[in-house]
Amino acid sequence: MANSEKATFGAGCFWGVEAAFRKVEGVLSTAVGYLGGTYENPTYKDVCSGRTGHAEVVEVTYDPARAAYEDLLAVFWENHDPTTLNRQGPDVGSQYRTAIFVHTPEQERAATASKKELEGSGRFRRPIVTEITPASTFYMAEDYHQQYLEKRGLAQCHIG
């Protein structure tokens, strides 16, 4: 897509995270998948085994003229608990880790600055454990995972 950039986030189960990003003005498309592991072409079953090293992620394609990367970071921080290691709600395992996978040096600087700002804000009593790491190969999840909540008429899957 012309005039588009990619951003990739891991924040627990990808269904709810994808739904949150799809609401952002300037987001052109989203895809859920797996990133950050060592196993090629993993399936959902492979990733759930905990042996591939992948995280469940959302790859966001956005128009930087309409949505700043910092806006996407704000959605990321607001939609999960960045203080829990390898866990979000009832989902436990390294595939549910909190992670920002950066595509450019500019994204790395912005992600690092936003994490530092959040750490200094006093909003969380525990340390933020979000990893910031270069994006590697993104493997798209199976079709039934794409826009899962939207296909089922659900707004979110977060546990209140």
Q: Active-site residue numbers? A: 13
Q: What is the DSSP string of 5-51?
A: EEEEEEESSHHHHHHHHHTSTTEEEEEEEEESSSSSS--HHHHHTT-
Residue written as token pair 């690092």? 112
Q: Are 5 and 62 a contacting pair, CB within 8 Å?
A: yes
Strands 98-102 and 131-134: parallel
For 86-119, give the DSSP string.
TEETTEESGGG-EEEEESSHHHHHHHHHHHHHHH
